[in-house]
Chain A
Amino acid sequence: MTAPIRIKGFTTEVLKWKPWLDTVNVDTATPAQLAALDEMSPQARTSPYFLVLAQLQRSIAFNAIMFAPGGMPRAERELGATVESRVNGCVYCASVHAQRFEQLAKRNDVISQVFEAPEGAGTTAREKAIVAFSIRLGAEPDKVSADDVRGLKEAGLTEQEILDLIHSVALFAWANRLMLNLGEPIFPEADAS
């Protein structure tokens, strides 16, 4: 594996995540499982029933959006997720999904660009269109228009791929807020203390 990217407070290092509120600390799970509170619902032993239900549904949505076969290549779904996380300032999610992009695409050039400045990032016309759309939907959902969709179509995306991108960006509008709002990322160097 190449050296981790560290740009503008964003990184491809493996981070941990620390919850702020007791209820979130639903079990004495590993930090990875706590992070999974967002992504892969662990058994929430002491959570209220609704939280268990909510986590289960979110976990189904997450798996269906990020891993379903066909449609948009998985690396590009991870790119959409990473861009949304970068735009929202979610260092934790950006790290996780930048790593997944790198694992799937076997490169991280576009990740450096996204961390540096998401606007205009992309190593191909298709990637630039995906990044531009992700920024728009993430930051200004009310301004997303037919022209934005046409931009994706001109770059070669099918409607199924566009739907997959909408889902992955929207999913991280959701996930970022949980991770930003209920806890904070822990960097490896700070972890030693």
Chain B
Amino acid sequence: MTSTPHDVIDAAIPLAPDHPLWALRRQRDKVVAATQGSYDAMFSPAVEGLSVSERLLVALHACRVSKADSLAPHYRDRLAAEGADGDVIAAVDAGQPVADARLRAVLAFTGKLIERPIEGDKAAVQSLAASGLSTPAIVAMSQLIAFLSYQIRVAAGLKALVAVEAAA
């Protein structure tokens, strides 16, 4: 084939169509399609309450907190393409505090839910509302962070499988 449809996981690992694990992944082609489909839904411009740039910053922060080095460049590139503020991208990338209070609250919640999901409790959700986030924004963010936790683990697992293949 001359072109493959874009798949974020394949690009992040990276897995080319001639790699044995590319074919292994396709034995679960519905999972591949739903993983990419979920990604597309999470970053759709149609999402209410959080801008695409805010969602990409959440993703970059989730990657930093999780040390997901294979996925972070993807979100960095998308933020640049989206025209997001370079200083804000750099701050999130370095784990430095950001000036905007709303974004600060969003990123703090992201870190908490990524690292200690049990702490993403009712009080944490209510504190987001107190920071001025609407209910749709809070739900969108929770959905996004939960999805990122999945995406980061799929990538981490595949990376380890690739490492075994490479050493064999």
A residues bordering B, Cβ < 8 Å?
20-24, 48-51, 53-54, 57-58, 60-61, 63-65, 68, 70-71, 88-90, 137-138, 141-142, 144-146, 148-150, 153, 159-160, 162-167, 169-171, 173-178, 180-182, 184
The dominant DSSP class at the A interface is helix
Contact B154 A170 (CB under 8 A): yes
Contact of A137 among B117, B135, B153 (CB under 8 A): B153
B109's closest neighbor in chain A, by CB? Answer: A181
Contact of A51 among B27, B122, B125, B143 (CB under 8 A): B143
Roughly how many angstroms separate A54 CA and B141 CA in the complex, as a whole number? 12
B119's closest neighbor in chain A, by CB? Answer: A180
Contact B142 A177 (CB under 8 A): yes
Chain B, 58-78, contact with A by CB distance < 8 Å: what is the 0/1 string?
000000001111000000000
Interchain nearest-CB distance for A18 vs B (Å): 10
Contact A173 B122 (CB under 8 A): no
A145's closest neighbor in chain B, by CB? Answer: B160
Contact A166 B153 (CB under 8 A): yes
Roughly how many angstroms separate A165 CA and B154 CA in the complex, as a whole number? 10
Contact of A159 among B24, B46, B125 (CB under 8 A): B24
The residues of A that contact B47 with a CB separation of less than 8 Å are: 48, 50
Asked whether B41 is an interface residue with its Cβ less than 8 Å from the other chain, the reply is yes
Pick from B11-19, B29-37, B81-89, B90-98 the stretch touching chain A: B29-37
State whether A174 and B118 are in contact (beta carbons under 8 Å apart), knowing that A51-B139, A141-B156 are contacts in the complex: no
In the complex, 17 of the A-B residue pairs with CB atoms within 8 angstroms, ordered by the A residue number, are A24-B139, A48-B48, A50-B47, A64-B30, A68-B30, A68-B31, A88-B117, A89-B117, A141-B66, A141-B153, A142-B66, A150-B164, A153-B164, A170-B151, A177-B117, A178-B142, A180-B117
The residues of B that contact A159 with a CB separation of less than 8 Å are: 21, 24, 161
The residues of A that contact B69 with a CB separation of less than 8 Å are: 142
Contact A20 B44 (CB under 8 A): no
Contact B30 A60 (CB under 8 A): yes
Contact A53 B153 (CB under 8 A): no
The residues of A that contact B57 with a CB separation of less than 8 Å are: none
The residues of B that contact A63 with a CB separation of less than 8 Å are: 30
Interchain nearest-CB distance for A98 vs B (Å): 18
The dominant DSSP class at the B interface is helix
Interchain nearest-CB distance for B39 vs A (Å): 9
Roughly how many angstroms separate A23 CA and B31 CA in the complex, as a whole number? 27
With A146-B163, A181-B120, A181-B146 given, name 16 new contacts (CB 8 A). Answer: A22-B135, A24-B139, A51-B139, A64-B30, A68-B28, A137-B157, A142-B66, A144-B159, A146-B167, A153-B164, A166-B157, A170-B149, A170-B150, A170-B154, A180-B117, A181-B117
B144's closest neighbor in chain A, by CB? Answer: A54
Contact of A177 among B24, B37, B66, B113 (CB under 8 A): B113
Asked whether B79 is an interface residue with its Cβ less than 8 Å from the other chain, the reply is no
Contact of A146 among B28, B42, B68, B160 (CB under 8 A): B160
Interchain nearest-CB distance for A34 vs B (Å): 14
B48's closest neighbor in chain A, by CB? Answer: A48
Roughly how many angstroms separate A170 CA and B9 CA in the complex, as a whole number? 13
Contact B117 A174 (CB under 8 A): no
Contact of A174 among B125, B146, B167 (CB under 8 A): B146
